[in-house]
Amino acid sequence: MSDSDLPLLGAARSDPGRTALVVGEEEYSYGELLAASERVARFLLRGRTDLEEARVVLLVPPGIAYVAAQWGIWRAGGVVIPLALAHPFPELVSLIIDADPEVVLLHSGTEEKGMAAAQACGVPWARAEDALRGPWSALDRVPDPETNGYHLHISAPAPPLPAVDESRRAHIIYTSGTTGRPKGVVTTHANTRHQVESIAKAWEIRPGDTVLNALPLHHVHGIVNALLCPLWYGARVEILPRFDPDEVWKRFELLRPTIFMGVPTMYVRLIRAWEEASPERRRELSDRAQWLHLTISGSAALPGHVHKRWAEVARHAILERYGLTETGMVLTNPLYGRRAEGFVGRPFPGVKVRLRGDGGHEALPGEEGSIEVRGPGVFSEYWRRPEETAAAFDKHGWFRTGDRAVLHPEHGYRILGRESVDIIKTGGEKVSALEIEDVLRRHPCIEDCAVVGIPDDEWGEQVSAALVCTPEGAVPAPELRAWVKRYLAGYKAPARIMVLEALPRNSMGKVLKTELRDLFLRAP
Ligand code: MCA
Ligand code: AMP
């Protein structure tokens, strides 16, 4: 497949004058995106003919630079590794070391932290703004061995962009696992195409659609569902640099999007903003939502009360779906027909789902089981972790999601929770309890600790830590949170802290996390 055949570019090539992106007051056409991404590709190629799956870390906020860089990396034959701007320095460093990229692309807003992290890893960095201007932009930039700055060797004339086969790696997206350290989930171009096609078919994504995307662009939800899928089909995407409920309500009126996708916490906040308004204003806000024909929730369980309230606020039923970084979208409620509260519906087109019962057999309708997934959209490997990759699949290629569900004959699947107590979902972010425990144990005043997720109306679950302190005494909660945030993203800092004499353990010495959860739930 040559660059010109990358399916992503199909709609862009066939109608270059059409608006692809809206960012603030600016609009960018598909033609502009094609041109900008070609400049990025040539900047990264530095006269070479193909990046041959060289990895490029993207530390760029949501906006035109992000999308042009993403397309440019692919058009040059490279692999995109989007990292979270919220990561503190040590987390960034360990992810960059794990990804082992050729270069880190930064943006003015993220430059200082990103540059320091790239330098600490001995990886060259470049400014996305320079990349957007093309190879010639850096001609006047003197290579700086001190800062490890990226310098270019220009060769003219520019060779054609490489042929990119679908079997090549496209993305490495990091997600937390049960083993503590985040793992890089590798998806190929073919995986991505299948994920996108399946979503477009289920939800009938059309060129006339406008998707409002206020999601972070380092997760499948924000990248594949709310960005790539609409762009693939010639639709328009409005990117908000960060989620703000008032801004989203405003954009519902100004841009009249047809589709909004968010995590449950976002809907909780949108409803709260609506409830805080006067009755007259509420009517106005609800009227604004009438342009939306689809509001979609995923990444975490949507509480029943949010489903009900949104139906009153937006005057239509939210569509809940279920997916994972490793698989893309798996289960969805119907586009037409009843979207039953508490259910995530049936498999997306092309996706096979089964429930494995506790005896290893396929669960019967009504019987609980573990969700397993197969299909062309399922990821190919965990980056440089062959053993974990092998352990994630059974011998017939079914991917073990680690989620429990039950099948209802009428409404489809209901997600019951996770197999592991060590995985927490907070604000739609997947968090490993073990990773947080590792950091907490390094604190001089903490002798022992255990982290669990406690149900919460706004966040789904809240990271909650039970601590046993050293004789020096307890650390005040704000101080401990600030300390954790030096090493881990803010959403991993324990929101609730409880100091105990000893952790509840079984006779083998294993912490009884279900008991701990009960202790938190009973606490005032
Ligand atoms: C932030 N804070 C929290 C949490 N997150 N406190 C408790 N629990 C949390 N989870 C705190 C911060 O530390 C800070 O406090 C204050 O809240 C504001 O922080 P900020 O980062 O500004 O939060 P926010 O911007 O309000 O974030 C809320 C959010 C965000 C917009 C809901 O969490 C978000 O974008 N979530 C989406 C994640 C996502 O896309 N997941 C998809 C992965 P202080 O000021 O005291 O420091 S799953 C996926 O991709 C699969 C395929 C799927 O199915 O979708
Ligand atoms: P991530 O690894 O961040 O992609 O998160 C994937 C996990 O999010 C899944 O394994 C589920 O535990 C959870 N998840 C995603 N969508 C839903 C949903 N609609 N209901 C319940 N859990 C969900």
For 471-498, the DSSP string reads TT-PPPHHHHHHHHHTTS-GGGS-SEEE
d(CA 524, CA 522): 6
pLDDT at 37: 95
The finding on whether 306 has its CB within 6 A of some atom of ligand 2 is no
**Mean pLDDT within 206-234:** 98
Could you give the dihedral angle defined by the CA atoms of residues 7, 8, 13 and 16, in that order, rounded to the nearest 10 degrees?
160
- The answer to whether the CB of 105 falls within 8 A of the CB of 56 is yes
What whole-number distance in Å separates Cα of residue 48 and Cα of residue 68?
A: 19
Q: Is residue 261 within 8 Å of 332, Cβ to Cβ?
A: no
pLDDT band of residue 140 (cuts 50, 70, 90) is: very low
Mean pLDDT of the region 146-173: 75
From first CA to last CA, the distance across the chain in angstroms is 61
Strands 496-499 and 460-469: parallel
Q: What is the mean pLDDT of residues 236-240?
A: 98
Ligand 1 pocket mutation pick from 297, 306, 429, 431 by most atoms within 8 angstroms of CB: 429
The residues lining ligand 1, judged by C-beta closer than 6 Å to any ligand atom, are 215-216, 219-222, 242-243, 263, 265-266, 298-299, 323-325, 426-429, 459, 462, 490-491, 495
Ligand 2 atom nearest 430 alpha carbon: 3
Average pLDDT, the chain: 93
| pLDDT over threshold 50, residue 155 | no
Q: Which residues contact 294 (CB under 8 A, 6 or more apart)?
A: 203, 258, 259, 260, 319, 335
What are the tokens at 408? Answer: 């209802």
Name the band, by pLDDT with cuts 50, 70 and 90, for residue 430: very high
Grade residue 368 by pLDDT with cuts at 50, 70 and 90. Answer: very high
Q: What are the residue ranges of helices labelled H in 318-448?
A: 386-392, 433-441
| pLDDT cut 90: percent of the chain above it | 86
Measured in degrees and rounded to the nearest 5, phi and psi for residue 49 equal: -95, -20
pLDDT digits (tens, 9 = 90+) for 57-84: 999 999 999 999 999 999 999 999 999 9
Higher pLDDT, 358 or 187: 187
Residue 367, Cβ neighbours under 10 Å: how many? 13
How far apart (Å, rounded) are the C-alpha atoms in residues 189 and 215?
Answer: 22
Tally of CA atoms within 13 A in the half-sphere of 114 that contains its CB: 25
Determine how many CB atoms are found less than 10 A away from the CB of residue 45. 24
Mutation test residue for ligand 2: of 215, 370, 403, the one with most atoms within 8 Å of CB: 403
How do residues 171-188 score in pLDDT, each as one tens digit?
Answer: 999 998 777 689 999 999
- Tell me, in angstroms, the distance from the centre of ligand 2 to residue 229's CA: 19
Residue 333, pLDDT above cutoff 60: yes
Q: Beta partners for 374?
A: 352
| For the CA of 429, the nearest atom of ligand 2 | 3
Closest CA to 244 of 270, 221, 263: 270
Instruction: Check whether 11 has a pLDDT greater than 70.
Output: yes
Report CA(477)–ligand 1 centroid distance (Å). 19
Q: How confident is the model at residue 25 (pLDDT cuts 50, 70, 90)?
A: very high
Strands 399-408 and 496-499 come out as unpaired
